[in-house]
């Protein structure tokens, strides 16, 4: 059971999470391993304090730390009616003392190394789990706090540690499995790991989800539950399409495409260890625990043609033209070599006899790119565009899909079309001003007006 920062933001949120954990303790239920993120915006606060210390602004860094201390003290005071237990109070005091020492060291040296930044950032999860585990114990629940660094083994890539799955399995078998049993709870941290030498690392963006999936795979869990603020994954962004529907089942490939093209779902790379171990991952709502949820597995067989829509923008479209492309080999290799050397990522690609259209992020550094491309081709630029992605496992097996897409958009100019290499993503490029209307019309034509075989 993984809970994000918003789920443990304060005492009231922690009480709600504790209720969900208690409900998972049924006699026929597997023992829950609870993986927590830092409280609310704690990690951001720690980063801000570290950056202030790096430029020598120690007073600002300590003011930021003071606010974090108040937030955590307030949460602890709100959980324990008879006063915060002495051992918890001592652990919290010691943790903040260590953070202050690290910040003073950074300020003294005017240097914030990735290693130091990881050491500082890791305290958010240590604090949230210490407080939460103590609260469960205070409620009479058999609870053990485990330092994730005793299990989550990574390399020394500080800031984005690369996990060693084999080592994690061995360490989980030794340091976690004996603590898990009927009626027993283990609480540990997401996002945090350590090297073989014992140096603290973090797993980067989506690190807590990644931790949950890695722990789940190592322990051969029955299920990995990702608890968030939404009822699973929806067929479109509900802020744009009010009629967006929950998706009961989602394949790993579909989740990857939706995340890549802007859907606000967990990043699929973070749950890959569980999916590879054939462990289902469910996305559930902390606020509506009995509500609908999404199960992500290796593949699904629902019979639906279109699963969901997503969009991303602004993006820029480059159309590269040259007569040298005609009946010549090696042109595309030369073209993409330039993009690779300049570290510019390409999303969509469409080719013609003498031109190639492709999309890049709006903040891509175009000046050096255009300088190099102009030596062997002409380049046209179209800025402030958006990609709208139509995702579904059965797109390639759906006759007439193209006519339904174009029929829904008779007055919207489609500037580029690309069918994903895995054939489950049909993407179109339009002007950003038409993005909302395009999504609404496509959702009506492709999802709301058809029997999706389980999407509703």
Q: What is the pLDDT of residues 325-335, one digit of tens each?
A: 665 677 888 88
Residue 341 tokens read as 């050397």
The rounded distance, in Å, linking the Cα atoms of 409 and 386 is: 15
Supply the angle between the helices 331-341 and 366-373 in degrees, to the nearest 10. 150
- Whether 282 and 293 have beta carbons less than 8 Å apart is answered as yes
Element (H, E) at 132: helix 123-138
Of 231, 227, 181, 209, nearest to 275 by C-alpha is 209
Of 68, 78, 260, 274, nearest to 163 by C-alpha is 274
Domain 2-222 has CATH 3.40.1160.10: yes
φ/ψ (deg, to 5) at 4: -80, 180
| pTM for the whole structure | 0.83
The 3-state DSSP class for residue 172 equals: helix
Of 155, 48, 154, nearest to 106 by C-alpha is 48
Residue 427 tokens read as 């993407």
Which pLDDT belongs to residue 260? 76
Which pLDDT belongs to residue 453? 42
Which pLDDT belongs to residue 450? 65
Hey, CA dihedral for 173, 176, 179, 185, is it positive or negative?
negative
Which pLDDT belongs to residue 265? 67
The rounded distance, in Å, linking the Cα atoms of 229 and 7 is: 8
Q: What is the mean pLDDT of residues 137-151?
A: 96
- Whether 316 and 360 have beta carbons less than 8 Å apart is answered as yes
Residue 323 tokens read as 């007569």
Q: What is the mean pLDDT of residues 436-447?
A: 92
Higher pLDDT, 425 or 214: 214
Q: What is the mean pLDDT of residues 250-268?
A: 78
The rounded distance, in Å, linking the Cα atoms of 372 and 318 is: 14
Where along the chain do its domains lie? 2-222, 308-448
CATH numeric code, 308-448:
3.30.2130.10
Which pLDDT belongs to residue 325? 63
Highest mean pLDDT among 184-198, 257-271, 370-384, 435-449: 184-198
Q: What is the mean pLDDT of residues 341-347?
A: 89
Higher pLDDT, 421 or 32: 32
The total of other beta-carbon atoms located within 10 Å of residue 134's CB is 23
Q: What is the percent of the chain with per-residue pLDDT over 70, rounded to a whole number?
A: 95
Hey, CA dihedral for 25, 27, 29, 32, is it positive or negative?
positive
Which tens digit of pLDDT belongs to each residue from 20-31?
999 998 777 788
Residue with tokens 């709870």: 185
Model confidence at 314: pLDDT above 70: yes
Average pLDDT over the chain, rounded to an integer? 90
Which tens digit of pLDDT belongs to each residue from 368-415?
999 988 888 899 999 999 999 999 887 877 888 888 999 999 999 999
Which pLDDT belongs to residue 96? 97
Helix-then-strand count for the chain, H and E: 14, 16
Torsion-angle region of 327 (φ positive above 0: left; ψ -120 to 50: alpha; else: beta): left
**Continuous H helices in 342-428:** 366-373, 401-408
Q: What is the mean pLDDT of residues 37-41?
A: 95
Confidence of residue 33 (pLDDT cuts 50, 70, 90): very high
Share in percent of the chain as helix, strand, coil (round to 5):
45, 20, 35
Confidence of residue 455 (pLDDT cuts 50, 70, 90): very low
DSSP 270-315: GGHHHHHTT--EEEEESS-TTS--EEEES------S--EEEEEEEE
């Amino acid at each position: 059971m993984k809970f994000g920062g918003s789920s443990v933001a304060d005492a009231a949120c922690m009480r709600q999470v504790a209720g969900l954990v208690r409900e998972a303790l049924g006699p026929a239920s597997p023992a829950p391993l609870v993986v927590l993120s830092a409280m609310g915006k704690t990690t951001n606060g720690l980063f801000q304090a570290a950056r202030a210390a790096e430029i020598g602004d120690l007073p600002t860094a300590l003011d930021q730390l003071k606010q974090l201390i108040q937030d955590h003290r307030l949460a602890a005071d709100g959980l324990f009616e008879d006063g915060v237990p002495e051992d918890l109070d001592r652990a919290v005091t010691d943790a903040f003392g260590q953070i202050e020492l690290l910040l003073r060291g950074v300020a003294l040296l005017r240097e914030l190394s990735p290693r130091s930044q990881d050491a500082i950032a890791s305290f958010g999860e240590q604090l949230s789990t210490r407080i939460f585990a103590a609260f469960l114990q205070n409620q009479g629940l058999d609870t053990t706090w485990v330092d994730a660094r005793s299990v989550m083994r990574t390399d020394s890539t500080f800031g984005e540690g690369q996990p060693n799955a084999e080592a994690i399995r061995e360490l989980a078998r030794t340091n976690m499995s004996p603590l898990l049993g009927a009626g027993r709870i283990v609480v540990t941290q997401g996002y945090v790991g350590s090297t073989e030498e014992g140096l603290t690392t973090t797993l980067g963006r989506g690190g807590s989800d990644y931790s949950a999936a890695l722990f789940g795979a190592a322990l051969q869990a029955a299920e990995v539950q990702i608890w968030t603020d939404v009822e699973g994954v929806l067929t479109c962004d509900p802020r744009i399409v009010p009629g967006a529907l929950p998706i009961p089942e989602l394949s790993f490939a579909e989740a990857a495409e939706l995340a890549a093209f802007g859907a606000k779902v967990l990043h699929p790379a973070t749950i890959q260890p569980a999916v590879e171990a054939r462990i289902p991952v469910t996305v559930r709502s902390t606020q509506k625990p009995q509500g609908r949820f999404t199960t992500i597995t290796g593949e699904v067989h629902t019979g639906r043609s279109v699963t969901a829509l997503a969009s991303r923008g602004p993006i820029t479209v480059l159309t590269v033209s040259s007569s040298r492309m005609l009946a010549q080999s090696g042109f595309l290799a030369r073209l993409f070599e330039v993009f690779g050397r300049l570290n510019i990522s390409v999303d969509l690609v469409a080719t013609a006899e003498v031109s190639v259209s492709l999309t890049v992020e709006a903040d891509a550094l175009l000046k050096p790119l255009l300088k190099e491309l102009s030596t062997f081709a002409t380049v046209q630029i179209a800025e402030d565009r958006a990609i709208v992605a139509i995702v579904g496992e059965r797109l390639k097996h759906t006759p007439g899909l193209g006519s339904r897409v174009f029929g829904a958009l008779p007055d919207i100019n489609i500037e580029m079309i690309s069918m994903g290499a895995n054939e489950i993503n049909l993407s179109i490029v339009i002007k950003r001003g038409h993005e909302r209307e395009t999504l609404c019309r496509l959702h009506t034509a492709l999802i709301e007006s058809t029997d999706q075989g389980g999407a509703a």
